[in-house]
Amino acid sequence: MAVNTATFAAVTLIYLAAIIGLGYMGYRQTRGHDDYMVAGRRIHPVVLALSYGATFISTSAIIGFGGVAAQLGMGLIWLTVLNIGVGILLAFIVFGKKTRELGQRLNAVTFPDLMGRCYDSPLLQYVTGIVIVVGMPLYTAAILIGGAQFITSTLLIPYDTALLAFAAIVAAYVILGGLIAVMYTDALQGGIMLVGMSILIVLTYVSLGGISAANRALEAMNPLVPGSLAATGMTGWTSMPSLGSPIWYTLVTTLVLGVGIGVLAQPQLAVRFMTVRDSRALNRAVLIGGPFILMMTGVAFTVGALTNVWFYQTSGQIAVEAATAGNIDTIIPNFINASMPDLFVTIFMLSLLAAAMSTLSSLFHTMGTSLGFDIWRTWRGRKASMVGVQAGTMVMIVFSVLLAYVMPGSIIARATAMFMGLCASAFLPAYAHALYAKRPSKTAATWSILAGTLVWFFWTVFVHVKESGAIGLSNAIFGVPSILPMPWPVVDPLMIALPVSALALCAGVVWSRRAAA
């Protein structure tokens, strides 16, 4: 992205100084492992709402899913509906209040710790931590890639330098300041993101002649849908794909439901419910979180689709054709760079940096606590140690950076959907059972987590062609990229693994009751 490097560097230095200051504030307020893990359970609802939203929405929504919207159209707006209805209202009111209540009563400090204490099972805490440590680096590496790529193109520095410096800056305040530092910096970053996206939607419609003119122009472009997309079900950028077509399955099962449902069982989000004093704080946070998510995702998906109009009017190309080397993750940056005033390019790039850092810090913290507290401490039978958690965080950061070097392009949205689908498949039934069952069944939870995880991995490796084709194991063993016929290769693993996980939980509950009788 072309931008005045000196201006952006100066603004970035001011931003980093504020981040370092907030990180130091968090460090000064962190006196024990309770502060490090759950921010001392005294976070203000405004900070909670902005931190939750900034963690939830990252470069994956703005860049990754914005690029998908440019490719597949405004049908992705259904994800915004689920993000607000499920990711905010249902998450805070139904899951959040019980999570806070149980977390405080049981003195739980992480998501795996909550599961282990609810079921009185160190094994469940251990298994939940392992799923996080195995699955979360994929998502983390995708965020690292997005942040490093735009730093490289802006400051004209080598990719390796950008990646390492980006990871090191976030690592510093996460390792030293714990969750207090993470949530304070998230709140600032959320505010920056809100300003950037609000300006973006206004300038986009202004550049296209207004809301009505822009939307009509996009609808009129339906005949320009590429033949490859039309053959698989795409009907236009203002309508849903043909029901039951491959693109319909991808849009609905992977992107809308995969992320829309997966958010309920995100460990890095669930732990935030345990950081406030009472349920009233969660109610107040909803009033801020809902509009925040609307602006973040609604703007990204709308602008993503509308980039087709701008590119076609200015260059005679649709957005996918204007993407750099066919990488849809470059569509939004290319549009911003070419269509927006220089000052806004700087603001937007700062918004991207804030989005990446806010999510990255929470993922680093969650992986570190899972490895250092939930796995290592549980396995060794030792008392909680901040040093152990900090060491675990450092190990997971290094692993995520290494993974970022080998992942392909156009991966941000897919990696997000994969991780959220895995979390829902593995954790959601057992998590709900822990919160609302009078006598949660340890056997049922174990069956559910193992069944959901194993089925999700099996479907990913051998059936869902987006992943199975890239992994190549199905081809190596069976000679085909997917072992099942259509439509199964385009049905997301979540749609199979989550029902299996729920059925395993029900079977476990029945078995436990019969055994007890």
Using 50, 70 and 90 to split pLDDT, how confident is the model at 2?
very low
* 408 or 326, higher pLDDT: 326
pLDDT score recorded for residue 49: 83
Q: Tell me how far apart the alpha carbons of residues 404 and 386 are, in angstroms, rounded to a whole number.
A: 27
* Residue 268 pLDDT > 90: no
Q: What is the pLDDT of residue 271?
A: 85
Q: Is the pLDDT of residue 351 over 80?
A: yes
Placement of tokens 């349920």 in the chain: 279
- Give residue 1's pLDDT band: very low, low, confident or very high (50, 70, 90): very low
pLDDT of residue 54: 78
User: DSSP labels for 225-292?
Assistant: S-HHHHTTT---TTSPPPTTSHHHHIIIIIIIHHHHHHGGG-HHHHGGGGGSSSHHHHHHHHHHHHHH
Confidence check: pLDDT of 479 > 50? yes
Residue 409 has pLDDT above 60, yes or no: no
Q: Residue type at 232?
A: T
Amino acid identity, position 164:
L
Q: What is the mean pLDDT of residues 440-446?
A: 93
341 or 494, higher pLDDT: 494
Q: Please report which confidence band the pLDDT of residue 476 belongs to, taking 50, 70 and 90 as the band edges.
A: very high
DSSP helix/strand/coil, 108: coil
Domains of the chain with CATH codes: 5-425 (1.20.1730.10)
Query: What span, in angstroms and rounded, lies between the C-alpha atoms of 289 and 282?
Result: 10
The CA-atom distances, in angstroms, between 344 and each of 32, 200, 337 are 42, 8, 9
Reported as a single tens digit per residue, the pLDDT across 220-249 is 999 999 998 999 999 999 999 999 999 999
181 has pLDDT over 80: no
Q: Do 40 and 389 touch, CB atoms closer than 8 A? A: no
The conformational region for residue 447 under phi > 0 = left, psi -120 to 50 = alpha, else beta, is alpha
Supply the pTM of this predicted model: 0.85
